[in-house]
Amino acid sequence: MALLRVHFFSKVLHMMSTADVIMPEKAVNEGTGELPVLWLLHGGGGTQSEWHRFSNIERYASDKGIAVVMPCAGISRYCNMTYGGDYYDYIVHEMPGIFRHLFPLFSGKREMNFIAGLSLGGSGAISLGMRNPEQYGAIGVFSASSIIPLEHLRTITGGPPSPGGPGKKSVNMLNFGVENTGDLAGTEHDVLMHARNNVAEGKPIPRVFHAVGTEDHAYPVGLGLKAFFEGFEGNPYKYEFHEEPGTHNWDFWDKWVRIFLDWLKTDYVKEGA
Amino acid sequence: MALISAEFYSECLGRGTSIYAVIPEKGEGKPNKDGRYPVLWLLHGASDDYTVWQRNTSLELYLKNVGIACIMSSVDLSFYTNIDGGRYLDYTTQELPGICQKMFPISGDPADNFIAGLSMGGHGTMKAGFTYPEKYAAMGIFSCANFIDLNVQMVPGGMRSPLNFVRELVFGTIDLDLAHGTEHDNLWLAKNAAASGKKLPKIFAVCGTNDGSHDYEVQNIEYFRSLGFDCMFMDSPGGHDFYFWDQWLPVFLQWLPIRQGGIR
């Protein structure tokens, strides 16, 4: 297996940026054709390296023959920030083209591209996935607690301190131009609205895998998300919910990302190259 | 240009290893009609590693100017030789190109493949290019002559000193005279390459006039020329350091026979 750090210029952010990549070397060398790609998102305050530093993702991905791209979204909530960079466009629209150019084995097929993340990255994964169902075949959500419009279910309120210091713009203001993310229901940031529209409009529907610990502060939001998906008739998202005693930590994510990759595999073996 | 650092397992070395890859981004460079870029395999000198060219020169700026990719690897003190501690020549000439051609959009066509290095990397360049002339269109030899002819003295510290110990590990003898007419003798390898009837790589060689290798290198190049190699030799005041190599790297890159592939 190969671990790569990629420094490249982003036109969207108009600056140099960094992403880490896991290349499943065995799959590369055996020449099995194009590689499935998992876009794996970090949590709040995190960066591109946290998944491979704190979990065994490199080993799991190598076993499964899947490439993993780990972007860095800064302090954004995977959105185009009101006062900051367009991280949503960067990850959804720009990075796939750049990375398929640098790594020609990366598949561009929907059914071989997946998006997942932990905590704020899980929220990002479902947000980006629901807004672009034609781009991702499956979505993995681990311990997400920031799902618009379920902000009222959050058990931690107040958000992180302003990066600019006391009295400066809050993270919510920087990201969305509002103080209260409850106000974002019905806007482009409303994940559940996109999820309903995708079904109503007959768009391609990604599968959704969701895991959260019962002692996690994200558990109530998790139950809210579960109730939403279980409200669909016929389970169009093939939604799977997993809960067990556990909290908001790497023991939980390391275990569940492995199970998630197992769950993904059936997808690309069946439909892939 | 994207700068990529990669860590992966090498079968030839029996362990994990690291490289830098500089790959033109979309719209940059001169990809061939398959969308793949010409590539320079850039070798480090003794006691250096895969990072030194990138850290001590404006490599990326120069590469951007000519529009090609570049791969830099680490080979310890191996002189790019297959030894008990690792098959470094096989790694450099076969395994690493295989891995990189799969991972990155670089060309496997010999017409698009160039190899160059400084000092011990110049030795590796000659070793690779003369052993496998069919793999490369051009070679760049920076501040290096046939090592076994340089009368390099043992350094203080006894036989366990790495720079002495390497003689046994790599050349199999303390007395480098005994290595003439073997795979460690780059003049001998050059003669074999010329006799093979294969298409020969072009050679660019450069050395500082204050460098102890200078006169040897001049003689070596004359010899290669007599064998039928197309050679260019340049020198200027300078020593065995990156001030010199950073001056000549862009000249070498401009000299490279890069094909105009056209943007896909």
Tens of pLDDT along B127-161?
Answer: 999 999 999 999 999 999 999 999 888 888 888 88
Q: Looking at the complex, does the CB of residue B12 fall below 8 Å from at least one CB of chain A?
A: no
Say which of B2, B103, B105 has its CB closest to residue A28.
B103
**Confidence category of residue A267, pLDDT binned at 50, 70, 90:** very low
Cβ <8 Å between B8 and A29: no
- Closest-CA distance of chain A to residue B41, Å: 17
Measured distance CA(B21)–CA(B40) in Å, rounded: 10
Express the helix, strand and coil content of chain B in percent, nearest 5 each.
Answer: 40, 20, 40
Q: Is ipTM strictly over 0.85?
A: no
> Quick one: what percent of chain A has pLDDT higher than 90?
82
Chain A residues lying within 8 Å of B103, measured CB to CB: 2, 23, 28, 103, 105
User: What pLDDT score does B261 carry?
Assistant: 60
Would you state the pLDDT for residue A160? 83
Which amino acid, A57?
Answer: I
pLDDT on residue B185? 98
Inter-chain CB proximity B3 and A7 less than 8 Å: yes
Question: What is the nearest CA distance from A8 to chain B, expressed in angstroms?
Answer: 4
| Residues 6 or more apart in contact with residue A166 via CB below 8 angstroms | none
The model carries a pTM of 0.87
Is the bond into A149 cis (omega within 30 degrees of 0)?
yes
d(CA B86, CA B115): 20
The predicted pLDDT at position B260 comes to: 72
Q: Is B15 on the interface with A (CB under 8 A)?
A: no
Report the residue of A48, A102, A105 to disrupt the B interface, i.e. the one with the largest count of B CBs within 10 Å: A102
Q: ∠ at Cα A121 (A165, A91), nearest 5°?
A: 95
CB contact under 8 A, B102 and A31: yes
The secondary structure of B131-165, three-state, reads HCHHHCCEEEEECCCCHHHCCCCCCCCCCCCHHHH
- Chain A CB contacts of B99 below 8 Å: 2, 25, 28-29
A99 → chain B, closest CA residue: B25
Cβ–Cβ gap B103/A9 under 8 Å: no
Surface-to-core class of residue B55, CB atoms within 10 Å of its CB (0-12 exposed, 13-18 middle, 19+ buried): exposed
Q: What is the pLDDT of residues B77-106, one digit of tens each?
A: 999 999 988 999 999 999 999 999 999 999
Tens digit of each residue's pLDDT (9 = 90 or more) over B175-195: 999 999 999 999 999 999 999
Whole-angstrom CA distances from A78 to A39, A103, A120, A124, A127 are: 12, 24, 8, 5, 8
Q: Which residue of chain A comes nearest to B31, CA vs CA?
A: A101
Three-state SS string over A236-253 comes to: CCCCEEEEECCCCCHHHH
Alpha-carbon gap, residue A36 to A272, rounded angstroms = 8
Distance from C-alpha of A234 to C-alpha of A199, rounded to nearest angstrom: 11
Chain A, residues 24-43, CB within 8 A of chain B, namely 25, 28-29, 31
- pLDDT confidence of B264, banded at 50, 70, 90? very low
Residue A121's pLDDT is 98
Of A124-133, B50-59, B160-169, the least confident: B160-169
A171: tokens are: 């993270």
- CA distances (Å), A218 to each of A139, A193, A253, B244, in order? 18, 20, 13, 59
The tens digit of pLDDT for each residue in A148-198 reads: 999 999 998 777 888 888 888 899 999 999 999 999 999 999 999 999 999
Tell me the pLDDT tens digit for each residue of A39-96: 999 999 889 999 999 999 999 999 999 999 999 998 899 999 999 899 999 999 999 9
- The pLDDT of residue B160: 80
Please state, rounded to an integer, the average pLDDT across all residues of chain A: 93
The beta-strand segments (E) located in A96-216 are: 113-118, 138-142, 207-213
Report B:65-124 residues touching A (Cβ under 8 A): 98-99, 102-105
The number of CA neighbours under 13 Å toward the Cβ of A87 is 25
* b/e burial code for range B91-128 (CB count within 10 A of at least 16 → b): bbbebbbebbbbbbbbbeeeebbbbbbbbbbbbbbbbb
Query: What pLDDT is recorded for position B151?
Result: 87
Size of interface A-B (CB pairs under 8 A): 62
Query: What does the pLDDT average to over B13-35?
Result: 92
Question: Which of chain A's residues have a Cβ under 8 Å away from the Cβ of B3?
Answer: 6-8
Strand partners, B206: B142, B234
Question: Residue B262 pLDDT more than 50?
Answer: no
To the nearest whole angstrom, how far is the Cα of A31 from the nearest Cα of chain B? 8
**What does the pLDDT read at residue A271?**
41
* Interchain proximity A6–B4, CB inside 8 Å: yes
Contact present, B228 and B200 (Cβ < 8 Å): yes
**Which uninterrupted H or E stretch holds A99?**
helix A95-102
Share of chain A above pLDDT 70, in %: 96
Q: Are A70 and A42 in contact (CB under 8 A)?
A: yes
Give burial (CB, 10 Å; 0-12/13-18/19+) of A33: exposed
Please give the DSSP secondary-structure letter assigned to residue B99. Answer: H
